[in-house]
Amino acid sequence: MVKKVIPLVADADAVVTPSSGNVFTDLGFDPGEAAVMGLRADLIARLRVLVQAEGWTQAQAAERFGIAQSRVSDLLRGKWEKFSLDMLITLAARAGRKIELAVA
């Protein structure tokens, strides 16, 4: 099968703005709220990778995390708005992960 490559055409009027390092800050959220949202998104991604790396079924992950299988489904689908930062830290700790917070 031959793939057709379509060249990208740059918009001459486009302006590229460098990222601050936090997409939520870039979207205009308050710096404090953006920091929490960024941490939540990162923890969700790490927990999803953990479940996949361990080869856990949703039922096994639910047992390990101490939550319902439906909540694991939300976690694996990246529905970070359904999880507080506290809950995500708790889930990571229940999975045996060490949690560290660094302020730079």
* More confident call, 72 vs 17: 72
Question: What pLDDT digit, counting tens, does each position of 24-82 carry?
Answer: 989 999 999 999 999 999 999 999 999 999 999 999 999 999 999 999 999 999 898 89
The pTM assigned to this predicted structure is 0.77
Q: State phi, psi for 20 to the nearest 5 degrees.
A: -80, -10
* 35 HSE (CA, 13 A, CB side): 6
Q: What phi and psi values does residue 46 have, to the nearest 5 degrees? A: -65, -40
Dist. CA 35–CA 33, nearest whole Å:
5
